[in-house]
Structure 1
Amino acid sequence: MARSLNKLSEVGVRSAKKTGRHSDGGGLYLNVSASGGKSWVFMWTPPGGKRREMGLGPYPTVTLAKARAMAANYRVDVAEGRDPIAERDQTPEPLFGDAADQYIETIKSEWSNAKHAEQWSHTFKVRCAAIRNVRVSAVGTDHILKVLRQPVTSKYKGEVKSGEFWLIMPETAGRVRNRIERVLDHCRTKGWRTGENPARWKGHLAHLLPKPASLIRGHQPAMPYEDVPVFMAELRDQNGLTARAAEFTILNMSRSNEVLGAEWPEFDLDSKFWTIPKERMKMGKEHTVPLSDRAVEIIRELKGEGTNHRFVFPGQPRSSDGEERPLSNMAMLMLIRRMGYEVTMHGFRSSARDWAGDETPFAREIVEHALAHKVGDDSENAYRRLTALKKRRVLMQAWADYCCSTRPSNVLPIKGGAAS
């Protein structure tokens, strides 16, 4: 019988207080010390040998998602007869450039398009040229700042700008920082580095670098897209209408008011389309959303409950006049807070856009149309809305598949009734 995996949740890990080891399955354990400190341990038993264990690093420096990825790699080592500790200890420390190239080889099977490998290779050969020959154990904050503050020139629509990479090309610089962070995390897993990751943004570089305008979310805190699958798995564990409204909003890259005001006639579930009238759109233009399989499933299940309410996601009627009204937009925010996250629903639109830009080959205008942003003039937009619909369907399904890539075993069904 196969061993159960992914037993723990991010919320459970954060709140764990009981001293001892908590199994996530597949040999991965969260160890809680008597002082309350938390760390990850991987345990295995070689054929004919005694049980062995190795530390993977402290939580939350090593997140649940990262610990699972590390454990998955070590399970492969064990299955192929290798000793993970011996492999780590016997591998000589490489230069940063070599480690980056090795990491690309490790993860390139995850990409469906060769363009990703080219983008990552360009990052480490061109953007990180200044630190390629530095030993990975010696890479520090000064090296990261040297990369992010290197002088660059950018030309857009005939306008030439020169200055620091971080300020002139913020989105590209942000991706470069994220990739450096991932490589250095990989190096720590290999035993080539110890201590904090100098490329980490939160609590580190955030205090050393200004926030470029395109990176500022204003009052809409966004979740890093790498954490979205774990969050979505926890969200699907939540019972009630509010959780389904939040899930549907994220899957469709929608604004909260677009979802909460949705009415049944707007949906064509056979063709898998949701058409939002212009009166409810920020840009004042009708917007058609190609629905993913999971989004259709949510609407079908809600419709199957036989509700006669005007709204798909109804709230409580006003006591004074009994008028129907949709679920409150604060309901979804409060649900996220109860789950232990300090993000907003609108911030997930930024998460989706960052995911599409970093991890997929979809053209920028396809992503912007999915977000119902204006791209070009009115005639150009009308043409693109018609021609890009099929591409947007592929995008929306890819985003839904990514969101659903972490799946717990104890999923609860949708239940009707008052909004939770």
Structure 2
Amino acid sequence: MHVRGRIHVRQLPSLTKPGVYADGGGLYLRVRPSLTRSWIFICMIKGRRREMGLGSILDVSLAQARDKASVARAAFLEGRDPIAERAASTQPEAAPVTFGEFADALIDTIEGGFRNEKHRKQWRSTLKTHAASLIDKAITDIDTDDVVDVLRPIWLDLPETASRVRGRIERVLDAAKAKGHRQGENPARWRGHLDLLLPRRSKVVKSHHAALPFTGIVDFMNDLRKRPALAARALEFTILTAARSGETLGATWAEIDLEAALWTVPAERMKAGAEHQVPLSGEAVAILRVLRPKKPKPGELVFQRPIGGKLSNMSMAMLLRRMDRTSITVHGFRSTFRDWAGETTQFAREDVEMALAHVIESKSERAYRRGRALDKRRELMTAWANFCFQTGAQQASG
């Protein structure tokens, strides 16, 4: 039921019969069968009848309802949709997207193109470890100072890691701009920006896999052995086997034969893609016997954290920092081993290269690999352990 004509304020108490009462200009009083009464604005937008609630008669007076209707009518005459505008204005403001949220979403999208699982995990771990201060920050608010604060602590000590972190931050922020979450220049860009704020690589002491001189290994190992952390045992084992850190951290008990003192690393975990056998010295076996559970589970890691999962790739590097050995790297101990073998022993170069799991290029060397038993390399690794702990002759002949 529609009642036409302007409503007088004195009429309001008597307008209780269900229906719609017109006040003019698109303003109506609606009375429902439940006798609740409310103001509405009705208009035609793009050929459709639209209704806009203006509030209960208990909360909104006739004069206020007319004012609200007048504002809505003006918007309508200007070609705007007052109903949509009000809906948009009353929507709660969306929480800003954080760097961590966007980075996780980006990695989920692009990780299919990564080389392997290690690369996927490194992307996440480097950002969470070294860019932790950015994780909860709105991605639109990240500026140059934020990026420099992340990079400065590791720029000199961990140059390769710092470069990866910078590159990954830059990629995340570039993607955020492409998605409309940012505007302007990327604060993580290098050329013409961060290269002016951080030391140039030519001015940084080059430490590509910086190695400890073999003459200092005895003092280092004595210090290392005093440290109870699992990372210390992992580093000790890595040094004694001349292994790469990833090979150690991914080692499982299924790869270890304690009786034969042999560690067999499967091809899929080796950089060269070929199975690698590592003869274990008595010192390396002793580390394993202490760590080995009574009944290892299938696939259980040798260097498994008490809460489960393997140690992070940064665990041994951080241990070196705690030992105040920031000038050397974990990978550098392979060079220490090679320098020791080349300068103080008469072991054949082929034996040393095989111990390092390096690809042997020449046909003669490949034939040597096929024909050479483990015995010479076992002698080599035993001599290395003896040298590290000075428990036997410091030099050996091959």
**Where on the TM-score scale, by shorter chain, does this alignment land: which range?**
0.3 to 0.5
TM-score normalized by the length of structure 1? 0.42
Report which of the two structures shows the higher radius of gyration computed on alpha carbons.
2
TM-score, normalization by structure 2: 0.44
| Higher RCO (CA-CA < 8 Å; seq separation 6+) | 1
